Chain A
Amino acid sequence: MRTPRIAVVLLLIAGCLASQARAAETLKIGFITTLSGPQGVIGKHMKDSVELALDHLGRKVGGLETEVTYGDDQAKPDVGKQVADEMLKKHRVNFVAGVIWSSVLLAVAPTVTASGTFMIDTNAGAHEFAGKQCHELFFATSWQNDQTPEAMGKHMQDQGVTDVYVLAPNYAAGKDMVTGFKRFFKNRIVDEVYTKFGQQDYQAEISQIRAANPKAVFVFYPGGMGIQFVKQYVQAGLREQYPLYSVYTVDEVTLPALGDAALGSWETRYWSPDLKNEANAKYVGDFRKKFGYTPSYYGAQSYDGILLIDSAVRAVKGDLSNKKGMIAAMSRADFRSTRGKFTYNTNHFPIQNFYLLKAVKGGSGEVEMQIQKTVFENHKDAYYQECPMK
């Protein structure tokens, strides 16, 4: 009795096709970040912010029903690539967003853009994508890595600070940060020390600093390394002697662990929870209410990423096949960003302000970062001229 079986099979196929047809009206976003392991805390900040953005948009991005799939790259480029492949080929997402680490982005972004899908970078500021590997489908809502230390370099140069002792971990990002710093800081650098990635005990380096007797110290120590360095620096009594300037070291991710040890630290950033504009007030306020902690720039960038996608889809009235239209809409940066109004450079990286921040005791008695002044206005990154797009 073969005929009924064929009928069943045909019905199944028809059903699958029908469900595919319905699925085309759903907007699918794949969000890649690190959710497990010690760096999972950053992934949590990003995921929570994406969820808040979806809430603010009524779970409809650009007016379409939206499905967000989260992928865990475990901070490994090959796992990130597998996750991206899964999102592109299995879930058939329309946008891939996220990515914390430059190494993961370097593995993931080319695959995403080559498949004709948008890559919305909400953190990693690898200079390759600001320069030679820029792509029309690639948009960053964060920054280019060098810009943040450039701002600190400029500030310290303008202040006439000299005899600076520089420390960073011995890996690509560490060296990039120092390069960016030296692009604008031209005074004397006492010593430039690179420490082992993941090092826990900095007592030896602290003794060296004391022996060198600089006038200030500039460091880049992200995540756990930052917590350890700053704590030990303060415990050794060095903060009173040598003011501590840093980038990506003292932020909303590390402040809970640092507490009062962070007081007096200087940082530069394009954003801060206390940045005054309507969108940011709403973001920070609602985020604190919903999740019970203060969001970080990782979160703000991810929130902006969803809003960017929303603005683009709205502009083409939900027609996801109109890629050119979406590119044009995104390039206008026509959405309410948490950083305020900004424009996109030809390489699809933001041209934005950078501020000097200081860790102070806030109104609630907690330590928080507060903006002191603007260091750069409408600052461009140093690589856009290498980008073929004009």
Chain B
Amino acid sequence: MTALLVAEQCLNGLQLGVMLFLMAAGLTLVFGIMNLVNLAHGSLYMVGAYLATAVFNWSGSFLLGVLFALPATLAIGMLVEVIALRRLYERDHLDQVLATFGLILFFNEAVAIVWGRTALFTRVPSALTGHIMVLPGVSYPAYRAVIILVGLAVALVLYVLVSRTRLGMLIRAGASNRTMVAALGVNIRLLYTLVFGFGAALAALGGLMAGPIYNVQPGMGEEILIQVLVVIVIGGIGSIRGALVGAVVVGMVDTLGRAFLKPLLSTTLGPVAAQSAGPALASMLIYLLMAAVLFFRPRGLFPAVRS
């Protein structure tokens, strides 16, 4: 276990965290601002991945896939909001859970009908297939480095948007007191639709970035949804900063746990016990982390302030 390996694993953890952040940001926005539990966020991630992959495979240009998938998913997100979710803002969280669960079933099957159940072929765009020397002796896949950069850029944009622009101010005001903002003449319905669409676009961005390295098939959103929910609970619901911190922490803990838990355990428990205990504990690690965080901070690390 060299220092170089530890450094490399930290980088892996950061990258995983950033991927989770892209998903978490959209979800925490929607939950924090509109008080909507949207389980179908994973479906929007999946739709983004499918649309980008389909266009990439057809045209050969990854950029074209991105340029198509983002606005398309944004539109789909807004459509879903208008048709199905708009009426659920005042309703119980449970009703929202049920309705968005129904949406998950619908999207998974719709995607299976259009593209079949076989996983789609994806590849990393040829410009990014190389490696870069991040540290001496640590050669890192270029594509993954780009993911980190994109994620951090999105975090910066979101920060500026939410805290420095008028739109961001409206969003925050609407989250605090919807009625008052509406009374002041702001079209709160339109605002919510736009925010939801934006959240969908963020999910799609996560999906299309994940496509080349993960598996594009029906149900791919649910696999990552649980991890994302853990992230926003740890980070604090409604907080972009919380989502970033939570995502990086979860990414690091999960990665370092998978890499180093077994070797660490085998020094104390012996190699045979560590072989089963290691992976079992590693899979529970993020849940244990969440339980620990909630024990000390029941509302997460950076809870958004609500009135």
Contacts and interface: CB of A to CB of B under 8 A. Distances in A.
A242 interface: no
Interface in B250-291: 255-256, 258-259, 262, 275-276, 278-280, 282-283
A40 B117 contact: yes
B259 A207 contact: yes
B218 interface: yes
Contact of A211 (B2, B16, B143, B256): B2
Given A192-B275, A203-B12, A237-B131, A38 B217 contact: yes
A41 B116 contact: yes
Interface string B102-139: 00000010001000111111111000010100000001
B5, B9, B108, B258: most-surrounded residue (chain A CB, <10 A): B258
A205 interface: yes
Contact of A208 (B124, B144, B259): B259
Interface string A186-209: 000000111110101101110110
A193 B276 CA distance: 9
> Range of interface residues on chain A?
35 or more
A195 B143 CA distance: 23
A207 B117 contact: no
A106 B282 CA distance: 28
A205 B117 contact: no
A282 B92 CA distance: 59
Contact of A195 (B16, B119, B258): B258
A196 B215 contact: no
A85 to B, nearest CB: 25
A44 B16 contact: no
Contacts of A236: 141
A157 interface: no
A198 B259 contact: no
Contact of A228 (B5, B108, B214, B262): B214
A41, A192, A203, A205: most-surrounded residue (chain B CB, <10 A): A203
A186 to B, nearest CB: 18
B122 A37 contact: no
Contact of A256 (B2, B118, B279): B118
A226 to B, nearest CB: 9
Interface string B223-257: 11000000000000000000000000000000110
B213 interface: yes
The prevalent SS among residues of A at the interface is helix
A231 B213 CA distance: 7
Nearest to B124: A235
A243 interface: no
B280 A170 contact: yes
A276 B88 CA distance: 61
A258 interface: yes
B15 interface: yes
A192, A195, A201, A228: most-surrounded residue (chain B CB, <10 A): A201
B8, B120, B143: most-surrounded residue (chain A CB, <10 A): B8
Contacts of A53: none
Contacts of B108: 37
Contacts of B129: 235
B119 A200 contact: no
Given A200-B214, A232-B213, A257 B144 contact: no
B16 A201 contact: yes
The prevalent SS among residues of B at the interface is helix
Contact of A235 (B8, B117, B141, B282): B141
A236 B141 CA distance: 6
Contact of B5 (A37, A207, A254): A207
Contacts of A40: 112, 117, 218
B77 interface: no
A204 B144 CA distance: 13
B219 interface: yes
A63 interface: no
A261 interface: yes
A224 interface: yes
B279 A257 contact: no
Contacts of B123: 259-261
Given A224-B215, A237-B131, A257-B215, A198 B5 contact: no
A203 B262 CA distance: 17
Contacts of A196: 258, 279, 282-283
Contacts of A260: 123
B50 to A, nearest CB: 13
Given A235-B143, A235-B213, A254-B119, A200 B262 contact: no
Interface in A258-296: 258-261
Nearest to B257: A204
Contact of A38 (B16, B219, B259): B219
Contacts of B141: 235-237
Contacts of B116: 41, 44
A198 B223 contact: yes
B9 A204 contact: yes
A257 B122 contact: yes
Contacts of B144: 203
Contacts of B216: 257
A228 B215 contact: yes
Counting from the closest, the 4 A-B pairs by CB-CB distance are A257-B119, A41-B117, A38-B219, A170-B279
Given A195-B279, A201-B19, A211-B5, 14 more contacts: A41-B116, A193-B262, A194-B276, A204-B12, A224-B217, A228-B213, A231-B122, A231-B212, A232-B213, A235-B141, A236-B141, A237-B141, A254-B119, A257-B216
17 contacts: A37-B218, A38-B220, A44-B116, A170-B279, A194-B278, A194-B279, A201-B19, A201-B213, A201-B214, A203-B15, A211-B8, A224-B217, A257-B118, A257-B122, A257-B216, A259-B121, A261-B123
Interface of A: 37-38, 40-41, 44, 170, 192-196, 198, 200-201, 203-205, 207-208, 211, 224, 227-228, 231-232, 235-237, 253-254, 256-261
Interface of B: 1-2, 5, 8-9, 12-13, 15-16, 19, 108, 112, 116-124, 129, 131, 139, 141, 143-144, 212-220, 223-224, 255-256, 258-259, 262, 275-276, 278-280, 282-283
